[in-house]
Structure formats: C-alpha cells, structure tokens
Amino acid sequence: MNITIAENLKRPEPKALASTLEQLAARFGNRLVTSLAVREQHGHTTTWLQNQPPDAVVMAQETADIQDVVRICAKNGVPVIAFGTGTSLEGQVNAPAGGVCIDLRDMNKVLAVHAEDLDCVIEPGVTRKALNEYLRDQGLFFPIDPGADASLGGMASTRASGTNAVRYGTMRDNVLALKVVRGDGEIITTGTRAKKSSAGYDLTHLFIGAEGTLGIISEITLKLRGIPETIAAAACSFETVRGACQAVILAIQTGIPVARIELLNTAQVKCCNAYSKLTLPETPLLLLEFHGTAADVAEQSRNFGEIAIECGGGDFTWTTKPEDRTKLWQARHDAYWSVKALRPGAGVVATDVCVPISRLADCVGETEDDLERLNLMSPIVGHVGDGNFHCSLLCDVNDADEMARGEEFMHRLVERAQAMDGTCTGEHGIGQGKQKYLKAELGAEALDAMRALKRALDPQNIFNPGKIVPAA
Ligand SMILES: Cc1cc2nc3c(=O)[nH]c(=O)nc-3n(C[C@H](O)[C@H](O)[C@H](O)COP(=O)(O)OP(=O)(O)OC[C@H]3O[C@@H](n4cnc5c(N)ncnc54)[C@H](O)[C@@H]3O)c2cc1C
C-alpha cells in the first residue's frame, strides 16, 4: 500500500544531508551504515505498508551516542527516527522524509534491579524476553507481553500492551520514569522511582505512546511483579461469539482477576487446527490464564467454569501443569503463523481496534458479517478482557480489487469501533496507517493541542516526522 508523503514534509537539502552524514561518519565510523539492505531493514517491514528507508542508520551504544546524533541532525534540520526492533505495525519506523535512524538494539543493559521496591532501570534496547530472563532468578517478571520480542523503548513509545493487560495494565501503567533526549541533545528526566507522584506535568505519560515524535527515550524505570506462585491455563469453546463475550463481561464484572483472556473466532480456530494439527471444536474459543496461590487459581477457574456454562460454553478444561498449559494455549501461540500459512504469498495486515467491553460482541459480530460481505479472509484474535481485538487481513497485494476491498474493510472496522465509543487502535498506535482516523476520534481541538505540544518540544520537526498527527 503506498503512503503519500504529508504535504508539509520535505526531504532535507542534499547539502545539509551530505554534511550530516560526513559528521556522523567522523563520529561513529563503521557504526554509521548506509547500505540499502540495512536501511530497508530499518524501514517498515511488518505489513503491506510501503517500506520507506532512512538515509543512514547509526548503531547507538550509549546515551551520548543518541545525544550526538540528535545534535548533528538538529544543526542540519535532518530527521531522526528511533528504532527498537522494528515490530510496530502502522509504519512507525518509516522515514517518509529520509533522515537518520538510531538503532537502539545495542543499548541493552539492565542498569539496576531493586527487588525490594519491585522496580528496575534499563536501557531502551532491552527486549521484554531478555528482561524476563534476567529477572527470573530473582522471582520477578515484567508483565507486558505484545507477542513479538519488542524492545522496551519501542513498547513504551507505542504504549503497547497485549495478552496480560487485563490484569497488569499496559505500558502506561508500568513505566515509572523516563530519561529522554530532547531536540537540543539535553536530557529530560520525567520522574523518579517513587510509585506515585504529583510533581508537575506528567511528562512520563506524554512520552509513552509518542512514537519517537517528541524525543528519544534513553533510559526507562519499570514496575516489576513477583512471579505468581501458581499459574493455571484454561480453555472453553462457545457456540457463538456473543456467548463467549458474555462470559468475558460477567467474569470482569464479578471481579475474577483473570490474567489473560483471549478470544479466537471460528476462522482463527480453523486456521490453528490446520496449522498446529489440533482437533479443537470449530467454534469460538476462549483461552484464559489465572495467577495466584494454588487455592486462588482453583477458585478463579471454578468460578469462571460456572460462568462459562451459564453463557453456553462447552467443556471447560483447566490445568496448572506447565506442559499441559502449553498444549492448551498452543492455538494462541501459533495464531500469527497459522494465519501466515493459510494463504502463502498473500500480505497480512494485523490491525487492532478497542471498544467498551459491552459492545465487543456487536463489534466482532458485525466485523465477521462485513468480511463475508466483502468476500475477504481475516481470522480474529482478541485480548477481549479489554475489549481489544485484532483482525489479520489476508490480501493478494497484486490484486487491485481485493486490495480495494481490504482497505474498505479496515476503514469500516475503524468507523464501527469509533461509532461504539471505541478507538481506532487499542495498542498498535497511530504511526502512518491510522492518522486519518484521529480527528474523527478526538476532534480538531485535540489535534491542535497535539500539534502545539509537538511544536513546543520539537520546533524543527526532526523527531520521526510524518507520524501520529496529520498536517493541519
Ligand atoms: C506478530 C506481532 C504481534 C504483535 N502483537 C502485539 C500486541 O499484542 N500488542 C501490542 O501492543 N503490539 C503488538 N505488536 C506490535 C509491536 O510489537 C509493538 O508495537 C511494539 O511495542 C514495538 O516495539 P519495537 O521495539 O519493535 O519498536 P519499533 O517498531 O522499533 O518502534 C516503534 C515506534 O517507537 C519508536 N521508538 C522505538 N524506540 C524508541 C525510543 N527509545 N525512544 C523513542 N521512540 C522510540 C519508533 O521510532 C517507532 O515510532 C505485534 C507485532 C507483531 C509483529
């Protein structure tokens, strides 16, 4: 899918760019890379949105590197795009006006763990899996799980969440403080390790979800949790999506502290059966996880089992044995790959919307009807405890008619969610792909406020230009 460069975006003057690259080469030597292959890997690669590579990539190793790239680029008016692991789905790492990408993957040190305070301080390139491996011996974990092994800097910048959010919240709820390199290369500290604070404007949350458009995060202080004593996994098939959603609503309303609650619609279950050689009933499926003491998880599982029967659920299975848990959740773990395998060669676009939980059944049901009407294939997976679900739309990118129907589908999906008082994205962010929906969701005044913030913090518009807020 082509993206037109926003009207107010201009590539830097060739002379300014050349001078920038010269200064960066002098400072970074072979840590400045300009080969096309590497530049393309640092543009958008995860969906069918067009790849727009930067002009160069700098491999940062410490905060001073970020500061120097920003200072050199700012002097020449050249864009700077932060890169975590590049798993974002809405074109966030693209460079529509060229510029310099700062690859933060080598800034991957855990700087401190304060076990007694349940927090840690890390560099932005630490990935969530690496962090959890590091923490495991101390009986601690970081709960946000977006599926991909994303960097914590990228996750903070997209306000990511995932399967655990129903119990542990999103990145918004789990970051205590940030250090951010601003446009003149100086560092902003947004908070401390205190669990709460009323000290001034909430800068931490301004940068969470800013997608690198306001500055580059160079250090993150995160909240941690104790690894639960017992984890139970559970699965239950339902006759209808409505029945499954009703069970989710009742579980949330009655205060069962589910740690994960995922919906797979019939199309997704069929996909998983075919890919993972499973024999699940080909109807909507709920997968759950409960965390706590052995007694807690037994009670939670029992209570949910009763709700499931009330809502037309079939056999309710639950287990605490690690190997059986993995088997029960196999379908969810393989969901993405099973969709990819369904139609080799087709492009996949993973899109997300989020609605108030009471509207979830309507939104999923109408979305399934729309797919049938448009003759499109898109299994649905949802973090349904939050009213958030993903469509993995499969389209042949060389088939103009199918692509047009795909675009119509995605547009109608967003309009449907917004009409239900929901949002065009629960967790993937705005990037380039969802800019056109912000005004309808928040209004012109909110966009003006965002533009004013952007101008105040990045007057030269060098930080990841062309993302989030569309030109006025
Ligand atoms: C298979 C798959 C499943 C996924 N499932 C989920 C899911 O369930 N939930 C979910 O939330 N997301 C999901 N995602 C999307 C993706 O994993 C998240 O958006 C993730 O947060 C991106 O992290 P990243 O390190 O890859 O960031 P990148 O893609 O590298 O960057 C994302 C944005 O953050 C900016 N950025 C990166 N690092 C910094 C920094 N240090 N300072 C300032 N800005 C920075 C970039 O400029 C860019 O705008 C999924 C992706 C895939 C491929």
Q: Is the CB of 333 under 6 A from ligand 1?
A: no
At the topology level, CATH places domain 230-336 in Alpha-Beta Plaits (3.30.70)
CA–centroid distance, residue 93 to ligand 1 (Å): 9
Q: Is the CB of 162 under 6 A from ligand 1?
A: yes
Q: Is the CB of 147 under 6 A from ligand 1?
A: yes
Token representation of residue 288:
């759950």
CA–centroid distance, residue 288 to ligand 1 (Å): 24
CA geometry: angle at 290 spanning 329 and 125, to 5°? 70
- Sheet containing strand 80-83, strands side by side: 32-33, 56-59, 100-103, 80-83
Cα dihedral sign, 337-160-111-62: positive
Cα–Cα nearest to 85, from 67, 111, 108, 65: 108
Cα–Cα nearest to 432, from 274, 242, 213, 240: 213
Q: Is the CB of 170 under 6 A from ligand 1?
A: no
In the chain, CATH 3.30.465.10 covers 110-226
Q: Which atom of ligand 1 is nearest to the CA of 93?
A: 48
Pocket test for ligand 1, best of 83, 217, 333 (most atoms within 8 A of CB): 83
In the chain, CATH 3.30.43.10 covers 14-105
Determine the number of helices (DSSP H) and then strands (DSSP E) in the chain: 18, 18
> Structurally, what CATH architecture does the domain formed by 14-105 represent?
2-Layer Sandwich (3.30)
In the chain, CATH 3.30.70.2740 covers 343-437
CA–centroid distance, residue 209 to ligand 1 (Å): 10
Name the one residue in this structure whose structure tokens are 């975006």.
9
**Domain spanning 110-226: which CATH class is it, in words?**
alpha beta
Q: Is the CB of 157 under 6 A from ligand 1?
A: yes
Q: Is the CB of 88 under 6 A from ligand 1?
A: yes
Q: Is the CB of 93 under 6 A from ligand 1?
A: yes
Cα–Cα nearest to 423, from 356, 372, 353, 361: 353
Q: What is the pTM of this model?
A: 0.96
What is the chain's pLDDT, residue by residue, as a tens digit (472 residues)? Answer: 655 555 568 899 999 999 999 999 999 999 999 999 999 999 999 998 999 999 999 999 999 999 999 999 999 999 999 999 999 999 999 999 999 999 999 999 999 999 999 999 999 999 999 999 999 999 999 999 998 999 999 999 999 999 999 999 999 999 999 999 999 999 999 999 999 999 999 999 999 999 999 999 999 999 999 999 999 999 999 999 999 999 999 999 999 999 999 999 999 999 999 998 888 999 999 999 999 999 999 999 999 999 999 999 998 899 999 998 988 888 888 888 899 898 888 888 889 999 999 999 999 999 999 999 999 999 999 999 999 999 999 999 899 999 999 999 999 999 999 999 999 999 999 999 999 999 999 999 999 999 999 999 999 999 999 999 987 7
In the chain, CATH 3.30.70.2190 covers 230-336
Q: Is the CB of 87 under 6 A from ligand 1?
A: yes
> Structurally, what CATH architecture does the domain formed by 343-437 represent?
2-Layer Sandwich (3.30)
